[in-house]
Amino acid sequence: MTGVRSFGLFRRLRVASIATAAAIAVLVAITYGLTLFGGVIDGPVKAVLADYATVLVRDLPADAGQADVDRLARTHRVAVTYHRNGMSLHADSPSPTLPQPMMLSATAPAAGGASVELRWPVADAARFHLAALAILIVLVITVLAAHHVYQARLLAPLRWLRRSVEAVAAERFDTVAPMPRGDGELAEVARAFDDMARRVRDMLAARERLLGDVSHELRSPLTRIKVALEFIPEGEKQDQIRKDVGIMESLVATLLERERVARGAIRMTSLDLAALVRSIVQEERRRPLALDVRAANTRIRGDADLLRILSMNLIDNAIKFSTEDDDPIEVVLEGDEATCLLRIIDHGVGIPETDRLRVFDPFVRLSAAREHGKGYGLGLDLCRRIANAHDARIEIVDGPAGGTEIRTTFSTETGPGCIGRTPSSR
């Protein structure tokens, strides 16, 4: 940015930290001075102690002796020094005493022209210092709390930005970061974030439009090629061309379904997921499938055509990356009254944990897929989009006995309605 920059966030944090440390140091110095030297509060305390000492010594006789002084020290747990006509009597407190500078003392007149000096021992003196220490602790806590509140206010926009980043990661590209006041560092970050989200949104929208337009435009040429195939003599060339056309039709169909999901053109109805999956398993001829339905409730709301595509893609993916020598692919439906879990389990090469989110991105093919030479990296991307459109969650985990397990969790008609979304890794 150009122009005059406001007092920056990090500079304000440094100043606040220095000011807090300085305030604590000043509080410690003031409290130490008050407790050590008396200062402001020493006078009032001594006046109170003088009055108290007068009350304590009023019962001393005019000719008090050592026994009287000892009794006064024992009864009131104070150190006593009795002065009369140049004679001094002394009695220590039953409690240990502090050095003289740390003692609280007072002098009071006694009968017969005597004077008595009383010195309070450690227990009473310490009570005063503990009170001063408690005041210091309260003041320090207050300063630290004020510093914490100030820092929390300064850093609050970072929490807003974090939530915005999480929203964009979940493909909610219409998210706008809350704009902090002023033109400091966080305001610049918020503006840069909004600009980034807009550019990503525009880029992805342009890509989706391009794929949709290309897919629509390819349908007519493919239809003409299929018609032209009927005029080619039967043989190896015709079979190869027919196979290539089938692959292109499958790719175009996948792209068109992606566009339909992106447009939200979904026809939600009540359906039995178990019946839909069972029909797919019965139609499969390439590999034996083991179907196990043990869900308490398999009725969900969804688009039957899209859910058929999702199930077929997941089964097709399991077939591609396992061999005929492996154990049969398992198709399992389980869950309770609220959720229904579709599990597709193969015993093939498996997917590394670091790639399990990335494989749901479009046009991503792992090394195992490239070795097989199968697919274009759109099948699992379409499955993710279909799952998200149904407020379902799709995830990849290790199979119980090796290989890969892909789980898709749906909410039943009596369930919570939204299980979660599977974000893109980008």
DSSP labels, 47-89: HHHHHHHHHHHTTS-TT--HHHHHHHHHHHT-EEEEEETTEEE
Query: Torsion-angle region of residue 395: left (phi > 0), alpha (psi -120 to 50) or beta?
Result: beta
pLDDT at 99: 46
The reply to whether domains 38-120 and 267-411 share a CATH topology is no
CATH of 267-411, one of 3.40.50.170, 3.30.565.10, 3.40.50.720, 1.10.3720.10: 3.30.565.10
Domain ranges of the chain: 38-120, 185-260, 267-411
Question: Which segments of the chain have a pLDDT < 70?
Answer: 1-13, 31-46, 94-104, 120-133, 170-171, 173, 177-184, 211-213, 215-216, 367-376, 417-426
pLDDT at 1: 39
pLDDT at 275: 93
Residue range 50-79, pLDDT digits in tens = 787 788 788 788 888 888 888 888 888 788
Look up residue 198 and give its amino acid. Answer: R
pLDDT at 362: 76
Residue range 190-213, pLDDT digits in tens = 778 778 878 887 787 777 777 666
Domain 38-120 falls under CATH 3.30.450: yes
d(Cα 356, Cα 395) in Å, to the nearest integer? 8
Sign of the dihedral defined by the CA atoms of residues 298, 300, 304, 308, in that order: negative
Class in CATH terms, 185-260: mainly alpha
Instruction: State if pTM tops 0.75.
Output: no
